[in-house]
Structure 1
Amino acid sequence: MAEPAPTRGVFVLAVNPSAGRGRALADAHRAADLLRTGGDEAVVLCAEDLPALLTLVRARLREDAPAVRALVVVGGDGMAQAGLGLLVELAGQGLDVPLGVVPCGTGNDLARHLRIPLRDPEAAAGRILRRLDDPRPRRLDVGRARFADGRTRHFATALCAGFDAVVNERANRWLRPSGSAKYLLAVLVEILRLRTVRYRLGIEDAAGRHRTEHRDGVLLNVANTSSVGGGLPIVPGAREDDGLLELFTVAPLGRVRFLVLFPRLFSGRHVALESVRIERVRSVDVDAAGVTAYADGERLGPLPVRVDVLPGAVRVLA
């Protein structure tokens, strides 16, 4: 009697076609070719806009469950954010799908933190294959941002609400340069408009204690991982699996002192400065007049926002 054919799994690759200056689709097919080497199927899904892409991916994940081996996002941090949000949604419906990342975006801060190879789709796909049957699966905390209008967004790296958000907005409009160079150039442009923000914060610290305070600052991040802006390590000691977030703030500074601060970001030496404050939190409510929040380099919306963490919400193949 013939042995039954082994059941093939399915990798679903979601591609941001504009990422990597148009390289993303080609990178997705290169990654898919390697993912097929174990006998599994790899399906590449692409659409001109993100809502249409997520509709395609959601339908395919549901259709192929439980054969889905992983959702593989091909792009930058914005694409990873979209994939995480979808996986959190599906987990709430009983569908547990791990996340793989093939980075080819501008910042790639999640991939940098997880040490996933950059600009090498075969190497990134190989990492996914090696982690599939890991007896100690890696879990990724997911940041959650809830706005006053009822919207909820999830993020992987950091939510920013201050000068850094303004820099993100400017950097996102530029095609060149790439990575941290673009972020740094946007900093130099926006520093002429530097202003102090009066924040109203409701903090639940790592021990579960609550407090409310007003804090003046020029930078505010609520970070899940270590870097922003294409590799600037704002919170070098951040962990993606500790069930906590890092509240990072910088006190008011003049333009000259602010320019002195930024070069230190490349080495992490800024954490020793008196103006820099980093504290581990479970959640934080952030409000300030006229400030828009960004996360993973994507515009989320105006404050106020409540930020907390979903511990170990997604299994990540990295």
Structure 2
Amino acid sequence: MTAADHHRATVAINPNASFGRNRDVGPRVVEAIQRAGHTVAMLREANYELLRREVEHAVTAGTDALVVVGGDGMVSLGTNLVAGTDIPLGIVAAGTGNDMARGLGLPIGDTDAATRAVVDALTREPRVIDAARVKHGELTTWYAAVLSAGFDAVVNERANLMTRPRGASRYIIALLRELVTLSAVQYRMVIDGVPREVEGMLVSVANNTSLGGGMTVAPGALLDDGLLDVFIVHRISRIEFLRVFPRVFRGTHTTHPAVEFVRARSVEIDADDSIVAYADGERVGPLPIRVDVVPGALKVLV
């Protein structure tokens, strides 16, 4: 895209935004893009599934950019519709976690600045980053940030069911509640073709550095290196887990003897226990799954 182009942008707004403090952000984004001389289609629906269908129609019909207004759930919606295409994804962070925006260096906590960043980026070439493709059963799901397949996914599921409090503290409360029944899981993994048995507390497969509103699970992850960072916490006691966990926020957990990182292009994960995988905060489905990095699969407006 060049500065001389007139763009057709599709703006998809989080269905829950109308009930929150950011309910006016979507219309302001639309107005700002229009003022910059572009054509905008604003999509708002009563729920995510209706919105996903409408956005899918817009992408299929043809649009020059998809801008999502919300948190990582909206990033997930957008990623699943434009990954592998030439349509760039713009993000106006107005959600709870905003981990993808954080990883891309986009404004957090300032929706006006985030809107200006998207409008400015419409006139520049998009950044090209990797995305991860998850095969689960007959289905395929894309994600841009982090997939969780263990205790972190269980916490995510509980946090998603909570309405209060807002922000990262919700994940901490969910974690403390789940710690009561925390136990190690017997994983069967294949990492770049090499089988492994792992008895661990959690397994994450990261393309981005953080999840859960700034928990830096994979501080060394790069969005465009063609690799995934597999984060494993091996079996430890609950007390020791509680000691390790606060270090995740600072990204200083990497030196703990129970923590392991493996860089890989493909990861297969199965477990004896009933584990549900989450990607970018959204439910993917039960194990087994296979995750492959697809280099350069996603264009983003930054």
2:15 partner SS: coil
Aligned residue for 1:295?
A: 279
Aligned residue for 2:91?
A: 101
1:81 aligns with 2:70: no
- Which one is further off, 165-174 or 19-28? 19-28
1:50 to 44, 48, 51: 48
1:231 aligns with 2:214: yes
Following the alignment from structure 1 to structure 2, what is the Cα–Cα distance between the partners of residues 314 and 196? 35
Tell me if the contact between 1:17 and 1:25 (Cα under 8 Å) persists in the aligned partners: no
Aligned residue for 1:215?
A: 198
Following the alignment from structure 1 to structure 2, what is the Cα–Cα distance between the partners of residues 62 and 183? 36
Tell me if the contact between 1:18 and 1:24 (Cα under 8 Å) persists in the aligned partners: no
Name the amino acid aligned to 2:301. L
Tell me if the contact between 1:19 and 1:76 (Cα under 8 Å) persists in the aligned partners: no
Question: Alpha carbons of 1:241 and 1:12: their partners in 2 closer, same or farther (altered >3 Å)?
Answer: same
CA drift of 1:265 comes to: 1.0
CA drift of 1:250 comes to: 0.3
1:140 aligns with 2:123: no
Name the amino acid aligned to 2:191. I
Off by >6 Å, runs of 4+ in structure 1: none
1:155 aligns with 2:143: yes
* Residues 36-57 of structure 1: CA deviation (Å, up to 9, x unaligned): 2221122210111222212212
Q: TM-score, normalised by structure 2?
A: 0.94
- Structure 1 spans left out of the alignment, 5+ residues: 1-5, 205-209
CA drift of 1:300 comes to: 1.1
Identity %: 43
1:229 partner SS: coil
Name the amino acid aligned to 1:157. A
Name the amino acid aligned to 1:113. G
Following the alignment from structure 2 to structure 1, what is the Cα–Cα distance between the partners of residues 201 and 143? 22
CA drift of 1:194 comes to: 0.5
1:279 to 262, 267, 275: 262
Equivalence map 1:112-127=2 (5 Å): 112-127=102-117
1:30 aligns with 2:28: yes
Aligned residue for 1:61?
A: 59
Question: Alpha carbons of 1:21 and 1:297: their partners in 2 closer, same or farther (altered >3 Å)?
Answer: farther
Tell me if the contact between 2:127 and 2:301 (Cα under 8 Å) persists in the aligned partners: yes
CA drift of 1:62 comes to: 3.6
Following the alignment from structure 1 to structure 2, what is the Cα–Cα distance between the partners of residues 191 and 119? 30
* Residues 73-97 of structure 1: CA deviation (Å, up to 9, x unaligned): 11111111111111136x2xxxx21
Following the alignment from structure 1 to structure 2, what is the Cα–Cα distance between the partners of residues 76 and 120? 13
1:218 partner SS: strand
- Which one is further off, 126-135 or 281-290? 126-135
Aligned residue for 2:250?
A: 267
Name the amino acid aligned to 1:61. V
CA drift of 1:178 comes to: 2.1
Tell me if the contact between 2:93 and 2:111 (Cα under 8 Å) persists in the aligned partners: yes
Question: Alpha carbons of 1:258 and 1:7: their partners in 2 closer, same or farther (altered >3 Å)?
Answer: closer
CA drift of 1:8 comes to: 3.9
- Structure 2 spans left out of the alignment, 5+ residues: none
User: How many aligned residue pairs are there?
Assistant: 298
Question: Alpha carbons of 1:198 and 1:44: their partners in 2 closer, same or farther (altered >3 Å)?
Answer: same
Name the amino acid aligned to 2:196. E
Question: Alpha carbons of 1:20 and 1:220: their partners in 2 closer, same or farther (altered >3 Å)?
Answer: farther
